[in-house]
């Protein structure tokens, strides 16, 4: 999917919501635990309930890996279910990978060849040759960590070099030499507020994947105020606030209502910024 196609989906669905599938056996409705594959059973219902209100899904690989082989089966089934039933969705593996070239090639094979995903999150610490192998598959996207939503983002990402350039800015500037804006996004936490202005100076045209709205406390209003561009340029993720809105047997309807509420808020913001006709 190109950036333009993604923007077309955003306009058509009046939403730039990404639903994070951080599916945790300890948090899903207990009624599902008797299913053969409770994780997939939960995801399937959540996807059917929310697909009308979002443009992307982001399964977080950690939540699947921790279940071992069963988790990987659930991950594969989830991706396949989205692909087959909602082909307009952009699917992101939130995996935060990155390693020496021959190993990154293996990860790229996992996510783009074996699993047919659209994008994978990648950590920049090991530099160019750890990132580029993710771009060898036609149309594949890298979503590079820039300024994350957690407290630890302050430990290294804000370190200034001799010229006053902070590490996350250096990551954004340097990585633009590796791929164009149809293949590269950045992760910027919603908790970073006005820092979005600095991000937009370094990357005016790129899409940003924005976690941290909802459970982590970031404000959608602020993100849009400081981060939106003329192609929207934002995919705002919400995981826990939507998928765990309710753990009774009504969980699907509650997730639907929550996703719809966020979509409505996004529709208003897109309209306010002149991106809907």
Catalytic residue set:
96
The separation between CA 91 and the C-alpha centre of its own chain, rounded to angstroms, equals: 8
The separation between CA 52 and the C-alpha centre of its own chain, rounded to angstroms, equals: 17
Pick 59 or 227: Cβ nearer a second copy: 59
Please tell me the total number of residues recorded for the chain in this structure: 277
HSE value, Cβ hemisphere, 13 Å, CA-based, for 34: 1
Pick 6 or 223: Cβ nearer a second copy: 223
Pick 10 or 203: Cβ nearer a second copy: 203
In sequence order, what are the beta bridge partners of 213? 218
Nearest approach in angstroms of CB 201 to a second copy is 19
Nearest approach in angstroms of CB 43 to a second copy is 16
Kindly provide the b/e burial profile for residues 220-248, where b requires at least 16 CB atoms within 10 angstroms of the residue's own CB.
bebbbbbbbbebbbbbbbbbebbbbbeee
Nearest approach in angstroms of CB 40 to a second copy is 13
Tokens representing 257?
A: 């209502």
Nearest approach in angstroms of CB 211 to a second copy is 8
Nearest approach in angstroms of CB 127 to a second copy is 2
Torsion of CA 126, 234, 216, 262, to 10 degrees: -150
Give the end-to-end CA distance of the chain in Å, rounded to a whole number.
23
Pick 10 or 146: Cβ nearer a second copy: 146
Pick 114 or 248: Cβ nearer a second copy: 114
Name the one residue in this structure whose structure tokens are 């990978």.
97
What gap in Å lies between CA 181 and CA 206, rounded to an integer?
Answer: 5
**Residues in the site for a second copy, rule: CB under 8 A?**
22, 24, 60, 62-63, 65-69, 72-73, 76, 94, 96-104, 106-107, 109-110, 113-115, 123-131, 145, 148-157, 159-162, 167, 170-171, 174, 211, 216
- DSSP label of 110: I
The separation between CA 2 and the C-alpha centre of its own chain, rounded to angstroms, equals: 16
């Amino acid at each position: 999917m190109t950036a333009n196609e993604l923007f077309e989906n955003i306009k058509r669905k009046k939403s730039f919501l990404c639903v994070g599938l951080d599916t945790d056996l300890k948090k899903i409705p207990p009624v599902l635990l008797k299913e053969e594959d409770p994780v997939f059973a939960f995801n399937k219902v959540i996807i059917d309930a929310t697909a009308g209100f979002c443009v992307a899904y982001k399964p977080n690989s950690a939540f699947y890996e921790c279940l071992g082989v069963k988790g990987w089966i659930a991950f594969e089934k989830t991706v396949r279910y989205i692909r087959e039933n909602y082909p307009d969705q952009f699917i992101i593996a939130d995996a935060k990978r990155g390693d020496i070239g021959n190993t990154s090639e293996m990860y790229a094979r996992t996510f783009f060849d074996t699993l047919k995903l659209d994008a994978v999150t990648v950590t920049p610490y090991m530099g160019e040759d750890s990132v580029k192998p993710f771009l060898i598959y036609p149309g594949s996207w890298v979503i590079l960590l820039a300024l994350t939503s957690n407290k630890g983002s302050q430990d290294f990402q804000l370190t200034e070099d001799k010229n006053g350039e902070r590490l996350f800015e250096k990551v954004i500037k340097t990585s633009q030499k590796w791929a164009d804006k149809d293949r590269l996004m950045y992760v910027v936490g919603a908790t970073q507020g006005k820092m979005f202005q600095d991000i937009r100076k370094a990357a005016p045209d790129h899409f940003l994947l924005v976690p941290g709205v909802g459970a982590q406390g970031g404000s959608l209003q602020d993100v849009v105020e400081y981060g939106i561009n003329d192609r929207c340029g934002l995919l705002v993720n919400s995981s826990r606030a939507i998928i765990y809105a309710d753990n009774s047997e009504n969980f699907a309807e509650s997730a639907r209502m929550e996703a719809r509420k966020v979509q409505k808020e996004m529709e208003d913001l897109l309209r306010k910024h002149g991106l809907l006709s």
